[in-house]
Structure 1
Amino acid sequence: MLATTIFAQEDLKPEFEVKVITSVESIIPDGLGRSRLISANDKRDYKKFTSTQSEDDNTRNTSKRKDIRVKDFEETKLLNFYNVAGIRFQNIAANDAVISSKLTTMISEGWDLIFVTSAVESDSGEKDGNGIFITRYIFKRKID
């Protein structure tokens, strides 16, 4: 007789892991902003911070912000797009070099870059003076 093994679903491990790297580049005039490349070292299970809403049950998730916050992360300094004289193209080139180094390192560590998305919250006029350019690099890697 042929022996059959049945695996419980909870015994199955994910085949891949995903990692998000975020660059935040300041577009605040006069170089007053902060620009960084951020990578979380700590993991979070989104299920702990999620609730499902329905017509019959609208109970909200009661997670505390301190439980969601990640304090173990890598922060790489980048340069701001602007300095006192205006836009600084050397700073953009320097950021490109630093970000390229990080992406190259991740690829050499077995991560595959699968998606890139970016957005801008730009200076909205004379009284605002604030803005950021944010890019998310999404990687995946096979779990051994």
Structure 2
Amino acid sequence: MKKFITTLVFALMISCCLYAQDGKPVTATTKEFMQINTVESVLAGGLGRSRLIVTNPDGSQTDTDLENLFSMTGINFKNIKENENKLVKLLKKYTDEGWKLEHVTPLTLSQNDTGSGGIFMTRYLLSKEAAPKEKA
């Protein structure tokens, strides 16, 4: 029985190899990934630094300023609207180029017990099919 199973597995492996080598090039599809991070400061008075960081598939990065969520008088809704507008335009640009939003991860960090200070960070993972590569 053991000899029969071994022979069967060996025959299947050979037939799979022969089937894969029918003279046609075998193509492999791979995905490229890109990540967008928004880091929004929760420090009052514009003292914080907020950024939008894009990590491209080749590892290079671009950094764009975002407005701080708070001004001296509290929450600044104009700044929130501007930040959302930048992000939506950027996501639309990439989806128009064929990128697909794979996953969104929201993160929050509070710096101290009084609740003053901290950041909101959101990571957007995008992917798209890379150009097929010919295998030898």
Normalising to structure 2: TM-score of the pair? 0.71
Q: Give 1:94's match in structure 2, choosing from 82, 85, 90.
A: 82
SS in 2 for 1:140: strand
The answer to whether the aligner puts 1:110 opposite 2:98 as a matched pair is: yes
Return the offset for 1:90: 1.1
Q: What is the Cα deviation at residue 40 of structure 1?
A: 2.1
The 1-side partners of 2:104 and 2:56 are apart by 20
Match of 1:75 among 63, 72, 79: 63
Q: Kindly indicate whether the alpha-carbon contact (under 8 Å) linking 1:115 and 1:137 is maintained by their aligned counterparts in 2.
A: yes
Quote the RMSD (CA, aligned, Å): 2.5
Residue in structure 2 matching 1:84, options 41, 49, 72: 72
Question: What is the SS of the residue equivalent to 1:124?
Answer: coil
- Percent identity reads 34
Structure holding more helix per residue: 2
SS in 2 for 1:97: helix
Q: Please state how far the C-alpha of 1:12 moved relative to its aligned partner.
A: 7.2
Give the greater-gyration-radius structure (CA).
2
Matched-pair contact (CA < 8 Å) for 1:28–1:123: no
Instruction: Give the gaps of 5 or more residues in structure 1.
Output: 45-71
Q: 1:12 to 1:81 in 2, by over 3 A?
A: same
| Amino acid aligned to 2:51 | R
Taking a change above 3 Å as real, the CA distance of residues 138 and 84 of structure 1, as seen in their structure-2 partners, is: same
Aligned counterparts, 1:1-144, within 5 A: 5=21, 13=28, 15-41=30-56, 43=58, 72-126=60-114, 129-144=116-131
- Decide which structure has greater strand share: 2
Matched residue pairs, number? 111
TM-score (norm 1): 0.67
Change (3 A) 1:103 1:95: same
Gaps in structure 2 of 5+ consecutive residues: 1-17, 132-136
